[in-house]
Structure 1
Amino acid sequence: MDWKDRRRRFRGVIAGERCIRPGSVHDALSARIAEDLGFEAGMLGGSVASLAVLGDPDVMVLTLSELAGLVLRINRAGCLPLMVDADHGFGNALNVRRTVEELETAGAAGLSIEDTDLPEPFGSGGKPRLLSLDEGVGKMRAALAGRQDPELVIAGRTSAAGINGVADAIERAKAYEDVGVDVIFLIGIKTRAELDAVSQAVRKPLILGGVPSELDDWEYLSARRVRIALQGHQPIAAAVAAVEATLRALRDGAHPSEIGGLASPDLMRRVTRADSYEEMADRVLGRSSEQD
């Protein structure tokens, strides 16, 4: 697998002039579909990984090895550059370094490390809290120290705008920029005034973790150096709804022939790359000569 080529292409997106929408992917097939449809990058969210591996909500019970295994399975299925939400790096700064090493080995094109205090501390009352600025900076340094391939994109992620306000988000973004992260990943930006303030204060490209209606203008986002804007994780939610509806119909007595909305045989052959397997079988198993 040519991980470096994917990372170069992903860096091309970050260094480009326009904002893209990544395809939210959760497994090998969804990544292949996103690639076939022309998405320039895939996004594996932390909540999506927890759903795909454990069937659990996003409460930080997924382990690093489970995430790295999923990332590898997604990456081996095609050539789509994959951005990975690495959450808090699974612990302190030393854990962050290990996280970067594992996800780089699994083929990630980019990953984000955030400054939220995770898992939820005892007594927090369910309200998100941030690490100190010093600890956040330390995690970013550790992430960069763990990178072996300089093409791997490291994003410094902060939720400060929605917790403490945009002034704190700017302070953190500037500090992470000074450490050397490649891009600033912002959660909780809701207005143009907030985005304008951040864009004017920092030099690095930006990633937005959501696009509220006021920001839903891709030319505007591009002009503010936003290079990736996430739009949620509808594909896995759609898959859950389709599986539930299909199984419910079968459980209620529907005949398999009555089930609609299924992938066609042609689509299944394409997403499973059946033709390449048949070609390989003909060459290495001698099937064609036996049939002749």
Structure 2
Amino acid sequence: MAFGQRREKLRAILSGSSCVHPGSVYDATSVRIAQDIGFEVGMFGGSVASLAVLGDPDIALITLTELAEQMRRMSRAASLPVLVDADHGYGNALNVRRTVQELEAAGAAGLTIEDTLLPQVFGAAKAQLISIEEGVGKMKAALDGRSEPSLVIVGRTGAASITSLDDAIDRARAYEAAGVDALFFTGIKSRAELEAIAAATRLPIVLGGAPEEMNLLDDLAGQRVRIALQSHAPFAAATQAVYETLKALREGHSSKSLKGLASPELTGRLTREADVKARITEFLGLKR
């Protein structure tokens, strides 16, 4: 599927009337699994990007090049639309513009730009935000950086848990006026806060990190939430599975005794084995 079609699918979700959970994806196999299961959209979070590429926690160590390369690998592996957490855009507004260009070329269906001050400032124990004015400049630069209008640009703020709900609303309105396609909020703690945000803004909402009791999709849809993130549990599950498997092998257990391994049938489906064999026959002149 062409990149433009993926972006139009993401736009259809944002312009629809329902709320969906995205599949948390981080590499070629996980994005294929999410597509195989039937997720409408994938979410490539900054935290799992750092874990998958560097094995490091989410402290803004991953580079734009590393993020874009991982996105490119996923785009090649599956046609699932993927929304990418582009953090702060890897610098100032001009860096944001380049970030958009690189992720667009890598096949992202959309990306989020946040107003958190990153990386962490020396001596600052808590998260800080850039000014609204600088945030608006980043959003404008992001919009200017895309060459395909269908690429989705999402303005993100965590102000609700860092400064105040009123500040989050002010920032959202400013980013909305700048022309972003959707608004992403983290740190929302109650239904009342979400209702206040929905009443004060007009754009589709992406919600991250909300309390478990707020995750009823029909209720969220009524507040104009179109994508509601869940945890990045797939990466945690994969880490645990690899750890337990290697530990068992190290302790002398045979591979045949191990539980929870992917079957040859599942592995073959996810690696598109049948398609590869067909190409071998057609292009290499070999019989299957």
TM tier relative to shorter chain: over 0.9
8 A Cα contact 1:192 1:214, kept in partner: no
8 A Cα contact 2:139 2:178, kept in partner: yes
Counterpart AA for 1:147: R
In the alignment, does 2:169 pair up with 1:170?
A: yes
State the TM-score, normalizing by the size of structure 2.
0.99
Counterpart AA for 1:121: V
In the alignment, does 2:225 pair up with 1:221?
A: no
C-alpha RMSD of matched pairs (Å): 0.9
Mapped to 2, the partners of 1:60 and 1:124 lie a distance apart of: 15
In structure 1, runs of 5+ residues without a counterpart are: none
Q: Any runs of at least 4 consecutive aligned residues in structure 1 with deviations exceeding 2 A, and if so which?
A: none
Mapped to 2, the partners of 1:201 and 1:6 lie a distance apart of: 30
Mapped to 2, the partners of 1:96 and 1:42 lie a distance apart of: 22
**What corresponds to 2:34 in structure 1?**
34
**What corresponds to 2:47 in structure 1?**
47
Q: How does 1:3-14 map to 2 (within 5 A)?
A: 3-14=3-14
Q: How does 1:60-209 map to 2 (within 5 A)?
A: 60-125=60-125, 127-209=126-208
Counterpart AA for 2:110: G
8 A Cα contact 1:190 1:214, kept in partner: no
**What corresponds to 1:247 in structure 2?**
246
In structure 2, runs of 5+ residues without a counterpart are: none
8 A Cα contact 2:85 2:113, kept in partner: yes
Q: 3-state DSSP class of the match of 1:113?
A: strand
State the TM-score, normalizing by the size of structure 1.
0.97
Mapped to 2, the partners of 1:30 and 1:224 lie a distance apart of: 30
Counterpart AA for 2:144: A
Counterpart AA for 2:37: L
Q: How does 1:204-283 map to 2 (within 5 A)?
A: 204-283=203-282
How far has the Cα of 1:78 moved from its partner?
Answer: 1.1
Mapped to 2, the partners of 1:148 and 1:198 lie a distance apart of: 30
How far has the Cα of 1:255 moved from its partner?
Answer: 1.2
Mapped to 2, the partners of 1:143 and 1:154 lie a distance apart of: 7
- 1:90-134 deviation per Cα after TM superposition (whole angstroms, max 9, x unaligned): 000000000000000000001000000000011102x10000111
Counterpart AA for 1:16: G
Identity of aligned residues (%): 57
Counterpart AA for 1:251: R
Counterpart AA for 2:170: E
Figure out how many residues of one structure are paired with residues of the other and give that number.
288
How far has the Cα of 1:210 moved from its partner?
Answer: 2.1
Q: 3-state DSSP class of the match of 1:43?
A: strand
Mapped to 2, the partners of 1:38 and 1:45 lie a distance apart of: 19
8 A Cα contact 1:155 1:184, kept in partner: yes
8 A Cα contact 1:25 1:42, kept in partner: yes
Mapped to 1, the partners of 2:61 and 2:209 lie a distance apart of: 24
